[in-house]
Amino acid sequence: MSPWFRVSLLLLAWLVHAAAASSTELAVNLSWQGPSECQDDGSVGQEIRRIVGDSLPVPDDELFVDAVVTKTADGSWAVSLRTRVADRTGERTLIGATCAEVRRATALIVALMINPNVRVDSGPPAPEPPVERPTPRPAPVAQPEQPTRTEQPRPESKAPGPQVELGLGALAGLGVLPEPSGGFEASAGVAFSAVALELSGSAWLPRSRVSDSKLRAGGEFTLLGAELLVCSRPLTPARLGGCAGPAIRHMRGEGFGVSAPGHASATWAAATVEAFALLELSASFWLRATLGAEVPFRPPSFSLAGLGVVHSPSAVAGHAGLGALLRF
């Protein structure tokens, strides 16, 4: 055998081997686009070749595959595939927990397009480069995109507005009239978040006093009053509070037991303080109990004709009350 013949045989064998190798190449044009942490390192093509194998001839038309990979808000991966064979096109989206999962899913879809009868479990997958894997997530599932829910801002809570308060009650007092006496009180006020302003008026039952100089002669006294108070609103479960403010007193005395009885009247100012307790019967109806004291400024002395000085208010007087309070 001549050397030239041997060289010709070797050249012919190389050409046959090259033609056989080229016949096993897949007619797939794959374009992969994705972030730096999810690039195609060649494993997609290897996985396609592993699944398809060499049992089928090369397709007549080349398969074009465009893969666009994105990372979703919850940390999973999504790949949008666009395929084209001749004049036939298709689109689909796959979701996986990791980049490796969407690469394998892409390879499976392309392999099924080449040969729908391939066996998926025909062998172990092609080795992949070591990557840092996050916490395992559920298997890839194609899911429709959910509309994003926009939370509506909650309306800001407004502070409660002022409340109108109306009160009516009974009084008992000592130190202003000659003897312990009872009376009635009516009030109106405006309550804010921490304090309340209250204007009240009172009328007392008349009381009499006999003159020290004449046993059956003396004077009968009537009393009217008004107060402007600043009160703290009770914010504790005990519903206790206090009030303070100026007061006006007007007293009139009528003499009796003498041939020509006289009369006298006087008006003076006083400072008053009181404590109160509330009992809630409903959201707008309350019971109120009060206990207070007052100090008069320049208390008058009542002198009646023919009797002399009959009465003078005490330097410190006290009062108590019980009534109803309406809030709205």
- Tell me the CATH number at 75: 3.30.160.100
Which of 114, 148, 174 marks a domain boundary?
114
Q: Write out the two tokens for 12.
A: 């012919």
Q: What residues make up the domain containing 83? A: 24-114
Domain count, the chain: 2
The verdict on 269 and 184 lying in the same domain is yes
Flag whether 282 is in a domain.
Answer: yes
Flag whether 139 is in a domain.
Answer: no
The verdict on 65 and 200 lying in the same domain is no
Indicate the range of 45-49, 145-149, 234-238 predicted with least confidence: 145-149
Comparison of pLDDT for 84 and 22, the residue scoring more: 84
Region 169-195: what's the mean pLDDT? 93
Q: Is 311 exposed, middle or buried (0-12, 13-18, 19+ CB in 10 A)?
A: buried
pLDDT digits (tens, 9 = 90+) for 274-309: 999 999 898 889 899 999 999 999 889 888 776 778
**Cβ atoms within 10 A of the Cβ of 137, count?**
14
The verdict on 240 and 306 lying in the same domain is yes
**Cα separations in angstroms, 252 against 111, 150, 172, 190, 227:** 114, 74, 19, 32, 19
The verdict on 85 and 172 lying in the same domain is no
The verdict on 100 and 220 lying in the same domain is no
Q: What is the mean pLDDT of the chain?
A: 79
Rounded (to 5) percent helix, strand, coil in the chain: 15, 45, 40
The verdict on 182 and 301 lying in the same domain is yes
Flag whether 310 is in a domain.
Answer: yes
Flag whether 142 is in a domain.
Answer: no
The verdict on 93 and 195 lying in the same domain is no
